[in-house]
Amino acid sequence: MIEDLIKEMEEQIDSDDFEEAQEKCLSQIEKEDWGISVVEPLLLFMERHPLSDFGMPGAIVHYVEQFYKKGYEDLLIASVTRRPTLHTVWMINRINNAGENSDKYEKILNDILQKQDVEEEIKNSVKEFLSE
């Protein structure tokens, strides 16, 4: 089940073995062919680790971005609204850079700057994205 695979990644988060664990778990997710139903649990996992490095872009992003223009954007917006992370604000910026609905995505990024419970490191990333 997806929960077991995410737990495996969670056990390795911020360790030297995380990238390998992430690749292994995402490979299994692709094999199971769960589709977009796995995107929200993966985003929730990222929310629990707002300052962690998931790679650039990393296996999770490679997986979820295959659902671009197929519902992924709404799930990502909901995630960033709940709990912005370094990685998810970067993902929002990638969509923003695609040029469609840029006002919408810039507003989402600007809204993050107004939140009191967001780490300065995340806000600084948002400021960089908005100044590009």
Mean pLDDT estimate for the chain: 94
Report d(CA 91, CA 9) in Å as an integer.
20
Report d(CA 123, CA 62) in Å as an integer.
24
Number of Cβ within a 10 Å radius of residue 64: 24
Domain count, the chain: 1
| Span 26-55, pLDDT tens digits | 999 999 999 999 999 999 999 999 999 998
Report d(CA 131, CA 85) in Å as an integer.
19
With cut-offs at 50, 70 and 90, classify the pLDDT of residue 99. Answer: confident
Domain extent, residue 10, equals 2-131
Give pLDDT, residue 45: 97
Within 8 A by CB and 6+ apart from 22, the residues are: 9, 12, 54, 55, 58, 59, 60
With cut-offs at 50, 70 and 90, classify the pLDDT of residue 4. Answer: very high
Average of per-residue pLDDT across 8-19:
94
pLDDT at 100 over 80: no
With cut-offs at 50, 70 and 90, classify the pLDDT of residue 67. Answer: very high
Give pLDDT, residue 56: 86
SS3 percent helix, strand, coil of the chain, rounded to 5, is 75, 0, 25
Residue 64 is which amino acid?
A: V
